[in-house]
A = this chain, B = another copy of it.
């Protein structure tokens, strides 16, 4: 199962070239993570209030096309791994298809986050409730990221 959400490119995402400045994509990806955690019933602010966080340890990103102010983005999240403490996250950001039939894929990213206690950041096993909520989003096909 794939989690999907829509976002609009905001003025503040864009740089003097009129396109999304690349660090802003990571704010958008983190918003997708927040939306996802809300959706599966484990809001990030509740996790944090309970003494846990999901810091990122590894991130690979390909920037495949430009996004501009006002663009409607479709953002997807699938999990590539649900380990003892770590979770692999595969994100795609799609814009509108180009008029010349080009791909809509703008950004592809693969991150690894680690379920950790706050504030020291020591990894701890993912609790069963959260694990069960994550598992439906685990990709069953071979990872392509």
Knowing A18-B119, A62-B58, say if A30 contacts B23 (CB, 8 Å).
yes
- Taking the nearest CB of chain B, how far is it from the CB of A113, in angstroms? 10
Identity of the chain B residue whose Cβ is nearest the Cβ of A69 in the assembled complex: B45
Q: Decide: B58 and A61 in contact? CB cutoff 8 A.
A: yes
For A1-29 the 0/1 string (1 means CB < 8 A from B) is: 00000001011101111110111101100
Of B21, B27, B46, B57, which is within 8 A of A62 by CB?
B57
Q: Decide: B59 and A55 in contact? CB cutoff 8 A.
A: no
Flag whether A96 is at the interface (Cβ < 8 A).
no
Q: Decide: B15 and A43 in contact? CB cutoff 8 A.
A: no
- Taking the nearest CB of chain B, how far is it from the CB of A43, in angstroms? 6
Q: Decide: A12 and B21 in contact? CB cutoff 8 A.
A: yes
What residues of B have a CB within 8 angstroms of the CB of A97 in the complex? none
What residues of B have a CB within 8 angstroms of the CB of A34 in the complex? 8, 10-11
Q: Decide: A15 and B17 in contact? CB cutoff 8 A.
A: no
Q: Decide: A16 and B69 in contact? CB cutoff 8 A.
A: yes
Identity of the chain B residue whose Cβ is nearest the Cβ of A28 in the assembled complex: B23
Of B14, B58, B61, B70, which is within 8 A of A15 by CB?
B14
What residues of B have a CB within 8 angstroms of the CB of A12 in the complex? 15, 21, 23, 27, 30-31
Among A14, A16, A18, A57, the most chain B Cβ lie within 10 Å of the Cβ of A16
Q: Decide: B45 and A68 in contact? CB cutoff 8 A.
A: yes
